Amino acid sequence: VRGKEEEEYIEPEIDVYIPERARLANILCYQPDGLTDDELLERRIEAVQFMVDLCDKRETVKRHRIKRTKTEPTVGSKSPDARSERRPNSDLFPLLMQVSQCPDCVGDERLSFEERTFKYSRPTVRNDHFDEQHLIEREQAQRRGEKMVCKHPTCRDLNQGHDLEFYNIDHFRAHVQEVHHITLRSSDQVHQRRLRKIRRRKMAIKQTIINGAV
Ligand SMILES: [Zn+2]
Ligand SMILES: [Zn+2]
């Protein structure tokens, strides 16, 4: 298979910053010589795993791209953040959010105004983002015994500039539902989805092994 063209082949520069994508690109592009069948199979299984993960992340990936293009050309130009600085939080970040906004990003001061108020295409896509980007962190915080908080700017204003505190994730979910009108997935729904994801991955690996054996 490898002919004369081999010498002229220039390995593409891999410049991706989604970790799964970078790993996948590495697996697919840098195939070292002299791998055993087992090693090849291992790489294929790994590639399939990353592809499954990437499918789950597609919308988040798109969002990162928006993030990057948005931050570059604003030098010297009047950004919406500068214009909006004088407006009160309750105006910029109303308690009643759009159904597909993220209740955690809205309180993240490291993000731009657009990122904080970003609307996903559907609430379910926002929930994918939330479960992936924030829920795991929140679960870890809960296990460390830390308080669940809402950092929504208007919630903080109403609470004398402090984060609103909750007993646990479910308590936080109820607040987000009641005050911000955002429906996050329940613990049970999250659990079911995680099980499905594991099953899907197992199926994909099985399929790879079957195909590899032919
Ligand atoms: Zn978010
Ligand atoms: Zn809140």
How much is the pLDDT for 42?
78
- Report CA(187)–ligand 1 centroid distance (Å): 18
- Report CA(97)–ligand 2 centroid distance (Å): 10
Is position 2 within any domain? no
Is position 104 within any domain? yes
Is position 78 within any domain? no
Whether ipTM tops 0.95, in short, is yes
Sequence-distant (6+) residues with CB within 8 A of 73 are: none
Determine which helix (DSSP H) or strand (DSSP E) holds 195, and give its type and residue range. Answer: helix 187-213
- Report CA(103)–ligand 1 centroid distance (Å): 6
Is position 3 within any domain? no
Q: Tell me the residue type at 153.
A: P
Strand, helix or coil at 101? strand
Is position 149 within any domain? yes
pLDDT by residue (tens digit) across 67-76?
A: 444 444 444 4
What distance in Å separates the CA atoms of residue 147 and residue 131, rounded to the nearest whole number? 18
The count of domains in the chain is: 1
- Report CA(91)–ligand 2 centroid distance (Å): 15
- Report CA(105)–ligand 1 centroid distance (Å): 4
Is position 28 within any domain? yes
210, HSE (Cβ side, Cα atoms, 13 Å): 6
pLDDT by residue (tens digit) across 176-189?
A: 999 999 999 999 99
Q: Which domain holds residue 106?
A: 8-71+89-185+197-213
How much is the pLDDT for 25?
72
Give per-10-residue mean pLDDT for the chain (214 aa).
Answer: 54 60 70 79 73 57 46 45 67 95 97 96 96 95 93 95 94 96 96 94 89 68
- Report CA(25)–ligand 1 centroid distance (Å): 26
Determine which helix (DSSP H) or strand (DSSP E) holds 150, and give its type and residue range. Answer: strand 148-150
Q: Work out the burial of residue 24: count CB atoms within 10 Å of its CB; fewer than 13 is exposed, 13-18 middle, 19 or more buried.
A: buried
